[in-house]
Amino acid sequence: MRVSQMFIPTLRQEPAEAEIISHKLMLRAGFIRKSSAGVYTYMPLGYKIIKKISEIVREEMDRANGQEVLLPIIQPAELWQETGRWDVYGDEMFRLKDRHNRDFCLGPTHEEIITDLVRGEVKSYKQLPMLLYQIQNKYRDERRPRFGLMRGREFIMKDLYSFDVDEAGLDISYKSMYQAYSNVFKRCGLEFSPVEADSGAMGGSTTHEFMAIADSGEAEIVYCKTCQYAANTEKAPCNDPQGEVIQSDQMKVLELVETPEVQSIEDVAEFLKVDKKDTVKTLVYEADEQLVLALVRGDRELNEVKLQNLLGASILEMADAGKVASEMGCEVGYLGPINKDIKVIADYEVKYLGNTVVGANKAGYHYVNANPARDFNVESYGDLRMIEKEDPCPKCGKELTFARGIEVGQVFKLGTKYSESLNAKYLDENGKEQLMVMGCYGIGVSRTMAAIIEQHYDENGIIWPVEIAPYKVVIVPVNEKDTEIVEFAEGLYTELTQSGIEVALDDRKERAGVKFKDADLVGYPLRITVGKTYKEYGEVEINIRRTGERITEKSEQVVSWVQAYLEDNK
């Protein structure tokens, strides 16, 4: 490829709207351009990366007996109505009508489509297991698309669906996908960790998320260096501390105290000279439009995923301030569970609080000496709090470590959730009708490109792992007017190309410095400079992007040196 003919609009300045490094660098290196919020064009170099990641994914899916298909993006509402999901996903689903006024959506995922296909074609156990996958755009109208490709409204996903005769078969498919994912992310040069995750609205039992470790990751993970336990903090369980429940003769008289302009837990604890542990945090949620009070100890953080699961709610949203004021009669700083005929659920730890502080549902007032058993009724206690550093490993009890991660893959055991609602059955060896047992497995292909950059960059730009790089080598003749330099550079370009290496020749009429900066920004693994050293000693300079090393090599040795380097570093 000749850089003078390529559409690679690099930028010197950092784009203002980009907050994380992968977004900044993909814009500056000319890999993507924004079309609208969360919707991007993949420019020539960016799309080369997408194709390389997709090829790695295909090889590993095919190795695991996956068969590639391409499913429709336009999906009929009827299928989503059959599974009952048409009304579950509100504004996040892109919906449209055709010319006959029929309802469709742009596919956010393909469980309905693929199960509808298979239920019509698979009749016998002899046809199972069947693993079908696609690499295709997905559409989700995120409320706040951000971080470039990290959270887009149109993104590229590989989604595979497995169909087995029973749970044992699903286990085999799940394990084989788990291995295939490890292969994919290793080949992409990613440092990743599979973590236990919450299956949420997907139902089903087991699910793992493959997290690329990165400080910019939206997900928080917790892991144990002793027993390798690893989980998304949304899922990591906290146990019931089995403390002492206060005896009634220890309970003091409930007292209303004035706490003017004191709203946050910190302020209340300070004003009343108590520890945050001796207060109750009251939060108001709408669970499928029903108001719920969720209580956790004052020093803890509520885990909304655990709350949603405990309530079995399809949609869980924090009640907005207006709703709180009208339903509770005060603003959030003074909320409490006393004298409220609203459903109250509480974290286990609240059970063991005695003579504690709660909001009085009256602006400027709190109650002290509140006792759960006496003063307010908790409908149910459960694990509602976010796991913390001091908590013991849920598996072995040892110390926990926290990290942030980018979710690049997820594998789900679906069981019969979709085969039941869509009646996808097969005849077993006894001719008896059985429900197919399913799994679904996603890789964020476009998100993976961003994650690779988040783990492979420096102050000069991207550092592509060799297998992913858009071109393995860039040749930089330092002076376009010097025929000796240009001739050798052209010759080297031809020789490397003929030896099957993807090479770029920066033949632009630009100063050498500009070419060097662009080479570092775009992130080619190797840069070969043809300049003074060539004219004087017949040698070229080779810059190794990953290590910053610079070596000189005899011009006749260059091709074999490059082949050896690429072989050793793939």
The answer to whether 565 and 526 are in contact (CB under 8 A) is yes
Q: How far is the CB of 139 from ligand 9G3 (least distance, A)?
A: 8
C-beta closer to ligand 9G3: residue 20 or 93 = 93
C-beta closer to ligand 9G3: residue 15 or 200 = 200
Q: What angle do CA 379, 384, 386 make, to 5 degrees?
A: 165
Q: How far is the CB of 111 from ligand 9G3 (least distance, A)?
A: 6
**Buried b / exposed e along 331-355 (16+ C-beta atoms within 10 A):** ebbbbbbbebeebbbbbbbbbbbbb
Cβ count near 153 (within 10 Å): 19
3-state secondary structure of 517: helix
Residue number with the smallest Cβ distance to ligand 9G3 = 442
C-beta closer to ligand 9G3: residue 280 or 406 = 406
Q: How far is the CB of 61 from ligand 9G3 (least distance, A)?
A: 13
C-beta closer to ligand 9G3: residue 24 or 151 = 151
Q: How far is the CB of 558 from ligand 9G3 (least distance, A)?
A: 45
Burial class (CB in 10 A: 0-12, 13-18, 19+), 389: exposed
Please name the amino acid found at residue 349.
E
Contact positions toward ligand 9G3, by CB under 6 A?
89, 92-93, 108-109, 140, 159, 202, 410, 412, 440, 442
Q: Outline where DSSP puts E strands in 200-278.
A: 207-213, 219-223, 230-232, 255-258
C-beta closer to ligand 9G3: residue 107 or 298 = 107
C-beta closer to ligand 9G3: residue 134 or 529 = 134
Q: How far is the CB of 492 from ligand 9G3 (least distance, A)?
A: 45
Q: How far is the CB of 422 from ligand 9G3 (least distance, A)?
A: 14
Q: How far is the CB of 237 from ligand 9G3 (least distance, A)?
A: 22
Q: How far is the CB of 419 from ligand 9G3 (least distance, A)?
A: 15
Torsion of CA 464, 468, 472, 474, to 10 degrees: -50
The answer to whether 243 and 419 are in contact (CB under 8 A) is no
CA distance 519 to 200: 44
C-beta closer to ligand 9G3: residue 160 or 370 = 160
Q: What angle do CA 288, 291, 292 make, to 5 degrees?
A: 105
3-state secondary structure of 566: helix
Kindly state the tokens that stand for 26: 């993909």
C-beta closer to ligand 9G3: residue 394 or 442 = 442
